[in-house]
Amino acid sequence: MILPRHLILLLLILPTLLLSESAINCPNVPKQEIDSNLQQYVVFLKPPNLLGAIGNLVEHVLLLVICLGREIIPLKPGVGLFGNGPIDLNVIVDLSIAGTGFSIYTGFFNPDFVENVLKKRSDIDIIEPIIPTKADSVIPPYYINLKKRTTQTSAPYNLDRIDQKTFPLDGKYSYPTNAGSGSNVFVVDTGIDISNVEFEGRASFGGTFCGNCSSTDDHGHGTNVAGIIGGKRFGVAKKTKLIAIKVLNQNGQGTSATLVAGLSYVISKHKNSSNKNTIVNLSISAPSSQAINKIVTDAINAGIHVVVSAGDAGQDACNFSPSSVSGVIAVGSTEKSSNTVSSFSNTGNCVTLYAPGRDIIAAGAGQSNALSQASGTSQSCPHAAGTVALIISKSGNKSPSSMKSSLVSLATKGILNKNPNVFLRVPAP
């Protein structure tokens, strides 16, 4: 079936759908070029804002449905991208943002057909093979025992570090009393164990977009990240709401298609919500990708604050996605006991600022009182996402570009050993 929002389009093309394959001028392509050696692609179409472009869209849908014999189905957040079980290679999943019609999709095509037919169409904006995505932790979350600290008697070092200019630490974490209240942080990751007591009922499940993935966090990365953003003891913004968007599997791996699907869902939710205090945390990295950068840009243009990890390759962050998107807040990592940028952290002009990323303790998955420790720019990133929530609750929301400027303005300058020489700092109480 095709999504209900395509009803008008269907009414336009219904007479043509009744015609034969030859009547709609299907490309004269050998059968083996259509159905063999299939690879998954992500496709963005140009907006059909002119009558001619609408005609191209109608023709595009006919090409997929009539000529290729594909079935277009809506995205179903609860069952993954292609549902659970074996993938049907004849299915195309509509990933479009609400209100944009049929504009983004993923499906399986022969590479020659892509080169000889699809890429030559004037209505194609981006068509790209899927690429792998992964969680940005050099030391993945592992469980720790803090039974001797059932009550937090002093702030963990990373929170203590971001409320003051430099060392030595004073053992305190000072932050605005609203503590992120009224903001919503979508944690696009491996999921969140929403039963963890660190979240006090403020975490909820949004959707699953990776194939054969459960709705729980069966890896631990997303729960640790969410705990840094908004845990009651180990979180930056202790009153923010956290929504789990699962795009990475139990191994902390996904694809550009699952990421596009998850972000499309978030943008749609944001557009349809009266609360526009939306933040996205992307502690995820991938090789440079037009598709990833496009959907992230769409999120920013919709008014969403997108905070991303700089990446853990020890290279230029501009060579990776989504850290190469100009409008994101890209966060690199610093060490535990010095103002030194971590050797694993990506650096360069695409990094906005740095935050602690070594040995970060936060909520863990699997048990309601679990804690975990991890290292990476994945752990640096949520410090900044939580800080955005603090700014919103204290001073009100603003555009993504203004928020990025505010974050840099608050930050400490001139204390690091790498550029940009900017270190995260939370607003004063």
Q: Which residues does 71 contact at the CB level (< 8 Å), separation at least 6?
A: 1, 65, 88, 90, 91, 92
DSSP codes, 5-71: GGHHHHHHHHHHHTS-TGGGT-----HHHHHSS-EEEEEEEPP--SHHHHHHHHHHHHIIIIIS--E
The residues carrying an active-site annotation are 189, 221, 378
CA dist., res. 400 & res. 302, Å (int): 9
Residue at 89: amino acid letter? L
Question: Buried b / exposed e across 85-101, counting CB within 10 Å, b at 16+?
Answer: eeeeeebbbbbbbeebb
Residue at 344: amino acid letter? F
**Which of the 8 DSSP states describes residue 148?**
G
Query: Around Cβ 83, how many Cβ atoms within 10 Å?
Result: 16
Question: Buried b / exposed e across 373-394, counting CB within 10 Å, b at 16+?
Answer: bbbbbbbbbbbbbbbbbbbbbb
Residue listed under structure tokens 């904006």: 125
Classify residue 345 as exposed, middle or buried by CB count within 10 Å of its CB (0-12, 13-18, 19+).
Answer: buried
- Is residue 110 a contact partner of residue 118, using CB atoms and an 8 Å limit? no
Which of 199, 260, 262, 194 minimizes the C-alpha distance to 229?
Answer: 199
C-alpha atoms less than 13 angstroms from C-alpha of 59 in its C-beta half-sphere? 18
- By three-state DSSP, how is residue 122 classified? coil
- Is residue 209 a contact partner of residue 130, using CB atoms and an 8 Å limit? no
